[in-house]
Chains A and B, each alone.
Chain A
Amino acid sequence: MITNMLYSLGGLLLFIMGLFALIACSHPLRKILAVNVMATGVFLILIATAYKQAGAGEIDPVPHAMVLTGIVVSVSVTALALILACRVQETSNRSLSQQRKNDFTGAGE
Chain B
Amino acid sequence: MISFDDPSWIVIPIILPLAAGLLCFLTRRWAFAFSLAASLGNLLASGILLKQLLSVGPLSYNVGNWKAPLGIALRIDGPAILMLLMTAVTGLGITLYARGYFSFRISGQKKIGRHERQERFFWPLWMTLWASLNGLFLSADLFNLYVTLELISIPAVALAALSGKPASQIAAFRYLLVSLLGSLSYLLGVVFIYRTYGVLDLALLGSKTASGAGIGAALALMSVGLLLKTALFPMHFWLPPAHANALAPVSAILSALVVKASFYLLFRLWFDVFASTITEPALNLLGTLGGVAIVWGALQAIRQQRLKLLVAYSTVSQLGYLFIAFPLAYLEKGADIWAAVIFMALAHSCAKSAMFMAAGTIFLHAGHDRINDLAGVRSYLPVTVFAYAIAGVNIMGLPPSGGFIAKWLLISSSLNSSQWWWGLIVMAGSLLASVYVFRVVSRFFVIPEGYHVPDRQPHSPLLEWPALVLALVALLLGLIAPYPLHILETGSSLFAMVSQKGLLL
Contact between chain A and chain B defined by CB under 8 Å: yes
Q: Are A77 and B180 in contact (CB under 8 A)?
A: yes
Q: Are A53 and B198 in contact (CB under 8 A)?
A: yes
The distance from the CB of B61 to the nearest CB of chain A, in whole angstroms, is 20
Q: Are B143 and A77 in contact (CB under 8 A)?
A: no
Residue B169 CB within 8 A of the other chain: yes
Within 8 A of B (CB), among A26-46: 28, 31-32, 35, 38-39, 42, 45-46
The verdict on A81 contacting B173 (CB below 8 Å), with A35-B180, A38-B184, A45-B188 known, is yes
Give the CA-CA distance A19 to B184 in the complex, in Å. 10
Give the CA-CA distance A70 to B161 in the complex, in Å. 24
- Which chain A residue lies CB-closest to B176? A81
Cβ of A92: which chain B residues have Cβ within 8 Å of it?
166, 170
Cβ of A91: which chain B residues have Cβ within 8 Å of it?
166, 169
Q: Are B188 and A15 in contact (CB under 8 A)?
A: yes
Cβ of B188: which chain A residues have Cβ within 8 Å of it?
15, 42, 45
Cβ of A53: which chain B residues have Cβ within 8 Å of it?
195, 198
Residue A69 CB within 8 A of the other chain: yes
Within 8 A of B (CB), among A49-78: 49, 52-53, 62-63, 66, 69-70, 73, 76-77
Give the CA-CA distance A6 to B161 in the complex, in Å. 41
Residue B116 CB within 8 A of the other chain: no
Residue A24 CB within 8 A of the other chain: no
- Which chain B residue lies CB-closest to A46? B191
Give the CA-CA distance A84 to B195 in the complex, in Å. 35
Of B181, B187, B191, chain A has the most CB atoms within 10 Å of the CB of B191
Q: How many residues of B contact A (CB 8 A)?
A: 23
Q: Which of B147, B150, B173 contacts A84 (CB 8 A)?
A: B173
Q: Which of B166, B184, B194 contacts A49 (CB 8 A)?
A: B194
Residue B158 CB within 8 A of the other chain: yes
The verdict on A69 contacting B147 (CB below 8 Å), with A31-B177, A80-B157 known, is yes
The verdict on A88 contacting B166 (CB below 8 Å), with A81-B173, A81-B177 known, is yes
- Which chain A residue lies CB-closest to B150? A73
Q: How many residues of A contact B (CB 8 A)?
A: 32
Q: Which of B172, B181, B191 contacts A35 (CB 8 A)?
A: B181
Residue B154 CB within 8 A of the other chain: yes
Cβ of A73: which chain B residues have Cβ within 8 Å of it?
147, 150
Give the CA-CA distance A77 to B198 in the complex, in Å. 28
The distance from the CB of B132 to the nearest CB of chain A, in whole angstroms, is 12
Residue A87 CB within 8 A of the other chain: yes
Cβ of B195: which chain A residues have Cβ within 8 Å of it?
45, 49, 52-53
The distance from the CB of B255 to the nearest CB of chain A, in whole angstroms, is 21
Give the CA-CA distance A76 to B170 in the complex, in Å. 19
Q: Are A66 and B176 in contact (CB under 8 A)?
A: no
The verdict on A88 contacting B181 (CB below 8 Å), with A42-B187, A45-B188, A77-B154 known, is no
Q: Are A22 and B176 in contact (CB under 8 A)?
A: no
Q: Are B169 and A80 in contact (CB under 8 A)?
A: no
- Which chain B residue lies CB-closest to A38? B184
Q: Which of A28, A49, A80 contacts B191 (CB 8 A)?
A: A49
Q: Are B173 and A42 in contact (CB under 8 A)?
A: no
Give the CA-CA distance A85 to B161 in the complex, in Å. 11
Give the CA-CA distance A63 to B187 in the complex, in Å. 12
The verdict on A70 contacting B176 (CB below 8 Å), with A88-B169, A95-B166 known, is no
Cβ of A85: which chain B residues have Cβ within 8 Å of it?
173
Q: Are B173 and A28 in contact (CB under 8 A)?
A: yes
Give the CA-CA distance A37 to B181 in the complex, in Å. 11
- Which chain A residue lies CB-closest to B160? A84
Give the CA-CA distance A87 to B162 in the complex, in Å. 12
The distance from the CB of B254 to the nearest CB of chain A, in whole angstroms, is 16
Cβ of A95: which chain B residues have Cβ within 8 Å of it?
166
The distance from the CB of A9 to the nearest CB of chain B, in whole angstroms, is 13
- Which chain A residue lies CB-closest to B195? A49
Q: Are B166 and A42 in contact (CB under 8 A)?
A: no
Q: Are B166 and A84 in contact (CB under 8 A)?
A: no
Of B166, B184, B195, chain A has the most CB atoms within 10 Å of the CB of B184
The distance from the CB of A19 to the nearest CB of chain B, in whole angstroms, is 8
Q: Which of A22, A38, A77 contacts B150 (CB 8 A)?
A: A77
Q: Are B143 and A66 in contact (CB under 8 A)?
A: yes
Cβ of A19: which chain B residues have Cβ within 8 Å of it?
181
Between A and B, 28 residue pairs with Cβ closer than 8 Å are A15-B184, A35-B180, A38-B181, A39-B184, A42-B191, A46-B191, A49-B194, A49-B195, A62-B194, A66-B143, A69-B143, A73-B147, A76-B154, A77-B154, A77-B176, A77-B180, A80-B176, A81-B173, A81-B180, A84-B157, A84-B161, A84-B169, A84-B173, A88-B169, A88-B173, A91-B166, A92-B170, A95-B166
Shortest 4 CB-CB distances between A and B: which pairs? Answer: A91-B166, A73-B150, A88-B169, A84-B173
Given A88-B173, A92-B170, 4 more contacts at CB 8 Å? A35-B184, A73-B150, A88-B169, A92-B166
